[in-house]
Amino acid sequence: MANIQSHLNLPFSLPLLTIAFATLSLILFLLNQRRNSRHLPPSPPALPVIGHLHLLRPPIHRALDRLTTTYGPLLHLRFGSSLCIVASTADLAREFLKTHDAVFTNRPSTAASRQFAYNDFGFAFAPFGPYWRFMKRLCMSELLGSQTVAELRPVRNAELRSMLKSIIDKAQRNEAVNLSKEIITLTNNEVTKMAASTAIGSETAEARELVKQVAEIIGSFNLEDFIGICRGMDLQGLGKRMQDVHSRFDRLLEGIMRGKEEEKRQGKKRDMKDLIDILLEVAADDKAEIKLSRENIKGFIMDLFTAGTDSSAATIEWALAELINHPDALQKLRDELDRVVGKDRLVEETDLPNLPYLNAAMKEAMRLHPAATISHRQSIKEVTVNGYTIPSDTTLFVNLWSVNRDPKYWVEPNEFKPERFLEGPTAGLDVRGLNFQLLPFGSGRRGCPGMTLAMQAVPVAVAALVQCFDWNVKGKVDMEEGIGLVSARARQLVLPVVPRLQPFPATDDSSYS
């Protein structure tokens, strides 16, 4: 100890410095609490330095929901030095995401989001401004608009048929099917092929592994995001892992982009444009409002991979699990599919408008299990909400899990009842962010831009699994929630399976080029 002290030339002993630092931190913390809590919503007791971090137990949406039972539906929390507001009812969601949407236009930034979004070059975490508005319009008009989603339907059809064929092969060998693995492979392949239709099998497999690691990193608690003194220290090793995964993802995307550029130089043309094709064309347009860089393109595609793969897979799995646990609902859906589609062909996305019970079941599954349980925003200026003053740069958590179960708007809110969307006061509700008691995709400016795609690809996958197979389940499927950025099931869904259609419709997976 003496050698350390003399080397650093400190006038006091380290124990005294430690005590002094802790005392000063406590004083500053208490002063900060007193100064900033006068007009804030209610709050649980906090600890020095860490604030309310000790109250967060996974799954986070349930921990926040429990706090609202004691402190009310609107409360404030401190995570280290960061101020956070939690809203947990449909009325509060409307207040923040509609009435004050123009104030909560940014997303809070983390070390992981900055790394994987190429700082501000991505779209999902880009600050509100000209670039974000340009990319939002591009998403709605071209990238994820209804026309592009329809044009890329052959890609999704082929990947869905490929999954069904894989399940049939296992059923014929009397193997139990790991549906979790089959479904995540499906959604990853769909996203990869829609983004880069030229991707080969090894690239698709690598993308699947990298997406898994990105989701794990983004969903991890990182001390650097909350405790100022820890910034730059990488105490958990997350920083090194981020750099490694980001470098691998960057090489993958760069290779795909260069391959497309080489095809163009050689004069090769394909009938169908994928999303990278569209982005490269926009980047080459000298008259475009915003000149896209390679980092912009790669940032957007990385957003698409990470947001579209796990969330879609989780929703498919939750919906199937709920239907299996509710045999009456499962039978109603099968009867509808047999009546509308028949047994001689596979259900397709074009059938969806004629399947009201399927749409009701999907709405109910997404109400109970929104893939992103918490909608994150950040205020750009001070605002008063419900009589409370919310400072600038405050993080907003709208707990969609709680909002979608608001007892003011839902009878038996925790029960799976698709019929509630077919009759009664909730029959006409939609998931597109206008009905604030039903927000599986969020709402407002920062609502999910991939909603149109999700509402095509996800329901048809559920419908195909119900149409094509019987699931031999003894008892109930476990519904415990897992830990992570996306609210997925805690355990993989592994079930014995029996093909239901005899003979089985053709499952040719080469219907696009």
**Residue 286 included in any domain:** yes
Distance CA 184, CA 211 (A): 11
Q: Is the pLDDT of residue 5 over 50?
A: no
Average pLDDT rounded to a whole number, residues 127-132? 94
Going by pLDDT thresholds of 50, 70 and 90, the confidence category of residue 231 is confident
**Residue 258 included in any domain:** yes
> Residue with structure tokens 């309310």?
52
Distance CA 165, CA 65 (A): 42
Q: Is the pLDDT of residue 488 over 60?
A: yes
Pick from 43-52, 217-226, 373-382: least confident: 217-226
Q: Name the DSSP letter for residue 267.
A: T
Q: Would you say 180 and 317 are in contact if contact means Cβ atoms under 8 Å apart?
A: yes
What the block records as the tokens of 101 is: 């949407």
CA distances from 15 to 7, 28, 55, 163, 381 (A): 16, 20, 29, 63, 42
- Cβ burial of 186 (10 Å; 0-12, 13-18, 19+) is buried
pTM: 0.90
**Residue 33 included in any domain:** no
Contacts of 96 (CB under 8 A, 6+ apart): 87, 104, 377, 385, 396, 398
As for how many domains the chain has, the answer is 1
At 267 the pLDDT is 85
What the block records as the tokens of 404 is: 């979608």
Pick from 282, 284, 297: nearest CA to 141 = 282
Average pLDDT rounded to a whole number, residues 193-213? 90
**Residue 35 included in any domain:** no
**Residue 64 included in any domain:** no
At 13 the pLDDT is 45
**Residue 114 included in any domain:** yes
Q: Would you say 437 and 406 are in contact if contact means Cβ atoms under 8 Å apart?
A: yes
Q: Which range marks the domain in which residue 462 is found?
A: 108-376+430-499
Strand extents, DSSP E, 334-394: 374-378, 383-385, 388-390
Task: Please enumerate, by residue number, every residue annotated as part of a binding site for heme.
Answer: 448
Contacts of 102 (CB under 8 A, 6+ apart): 445
pLDDT in tens, 403-446: 999 999 999 999 999 999 999 999 989 999 999 999 999 999 99
- Cβ burial of 129 (10 Å; 0-12, 13-18, 19+) is exposed
| Average pLDDT across the chain, whole number | 89
At 505 the pLDDT is 83
Average pLDDT rounded to a whole number, residues 40-47? 96
At 280 the pLDDT is 94
At 9 the pLDDT is 35
**Residue 190 included in any domain:** yes
Task: Please enumerate, by residue number, every residue annotated as part of a binding site.
Answer: 448
Pick from 155, 387, 148: nearest CA to 278 = 148
- CATH number reported for the structural domain that contains residue 126 in this entry: 1.10.630.10
**Residue 29 included in any domain:** no
At 38 the pLDDT is 57
Q: Is the pLDDT of residue 324 over 90?
A: yes
pLDDT in tens, 251-271: 999 999 999 999 888 888 887
